[in-house]
Structure formats: C-alpha cells, structure tokens
C-alpha cells in the first residue's frame, strides 16, 4: 500500500465521502476499516508496521520510552485498526467489539520489564485478552511527539501556528531538520 494512503488514513480528517473508511468509537478513538480501503483485500500487519516505523523511527524516541511493535505476530493479516491514547480495559473491549486485530496507541502499555503475565493483575489480564483475540499492539509515544508531522505539528496546524524550532533535539531527520521533544511555535 502506498505511503500517502496510510498517511491520509491515519493522520488526516476523513471527509464525508471517506466515511466508510473510518468510524469513531466511544471516547473519540478511531477504528480504521483496512479491508475496505485495500483493494487486494489482504494485507499483513507488517505493511502497517513498516510504514509506522518509517514515519516515526525509534531513534526519535526518548531513551526511557518503549515504542514500536509490542505484541503480536507481524505476518498475520490486518483487518481493522483501533487507534487510542492508552491501551486500557475499555479500549481493548471496544477493539474486540469492532473486530479490530491491531491497536495503535500513543502511550506504550508495556513500559517496564515484566516478571510474569497472569490474570492476577490488570496488565496481565489485558495482555492475555489481547493474545487470546490475536490483537497486536504498536505504540508511538515520544518518537511521534518528535517527528515532523507528529503530535506537535498536528495540534499546531489546528491552531494555525508555525513551528520555529526544537527545544531538545533527539536526532536530525533525513532532510537534515532538527527533530526532538518540545517545539517552539508562534501563533497566528
């Protein structure tokens, strides 16, 4: 699938004519119906993962962050994507209700090393539920905050502000521009 299609699906507001491509769930989370957009009607999760890793490389993440592909099998077919801020009980239940097999979250739900995965705590129960339903999880956190057209740029475009610089450089982009955490913006 072309990079431009993914970008449109994930980061641009859908028009009424695109309403069959994406729908909202409770609390404003997005569900993308991949099969309706993809004319081949088959797509591996790896295709989306490759786009996400190219769009917001791990090198732009803070050293303490845990971004990227956190759970699942890359070679499985992709059906629907659930997009949310946090992977919590309610978002997992909504992903299941909408037959999603991929969750794209901003905050990583596996943040520190785990000693065991059991039903004795909420994180263990979530991991077991996700695995039982073959739902993969990919998180873009500080790498998405740092990348061009990422979190800061999306918010500022809605406010009609202009980026003037980076507060803390993480890495230069392929275009040689500074990428980092915290941007300087000018209103109006």
Backbone angles phi, psi at 83, to 5 degrees: -110, 130
User: Closest Cα partner for 91 from 9, 181, 29, 150?
Assistant: 29
User: Closest Cα partner for 80 from 42, 33, 37?
Assistant: 33
pTM comes to: 0.76
When pLDDT is cut at 50, 70 and 90, the band that residue 183 belongs to is low
Mapped onto helix, strand or coil, the DSSP state of residue 141 is: coil
User: Quick one: DSSP state of residue 181?
Assistant: E
CA distance 38 to 125: 33
Q: How far is CA 100 from CA 58, 92, 95, 108, in A?
A: 25, 9, 5, 18
pLDDT digits (tens, 9 = 90+) for 22-72: 565 655 566 665 544 555 567 899 999 999 999 999 988 888 999 999 999
pLDDT digits (tens, 9 = 90+) for 139-150: 999 899 888 788
| pLDDT top residue among 165 and 55 | 55
Q: What is the pLDDT of residue 34?
A: 56
């Amino acid at each position: 699938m072309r990079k431009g299609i993914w970008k449109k699906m994930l980061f641009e507001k859908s028009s009424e004519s695109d309403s069959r491509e994406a729908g909202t769930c409770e609390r404003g989370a997005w569900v993308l119906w991949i099969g309706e957009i993809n004319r081949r009607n088959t797509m591996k999760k790896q295709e989306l993962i490759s786009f996400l890793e190219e769009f917001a490389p791990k090198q732009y993440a803070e050293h303490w962050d845990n971004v990227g592909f956190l759970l699942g099998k890359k070679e499985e077919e992709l059906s629907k994507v659930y997009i949310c801020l946090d992977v919590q009980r309610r978002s997992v239940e909504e992903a299941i209700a909408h037959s999603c097999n991929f969750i794209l979250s901003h905050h990583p739900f596996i943040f520190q090393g785990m000693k065991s995965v059991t039903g004795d705590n909420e994180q263990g129960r979530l991991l077991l539920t996700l695995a039982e339903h073959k739902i993969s999880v990919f998180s873009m956190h500080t790498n998405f905050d740092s990348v061009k057209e990422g979190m800061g740029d999306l918010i500022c475009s809605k406010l009609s502000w202009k980026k003037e610089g980076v507060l803390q450089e993480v890495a230069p982009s392929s275009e040689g521009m500074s990428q980092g955490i915290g941007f300087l913006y000018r209103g109006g």
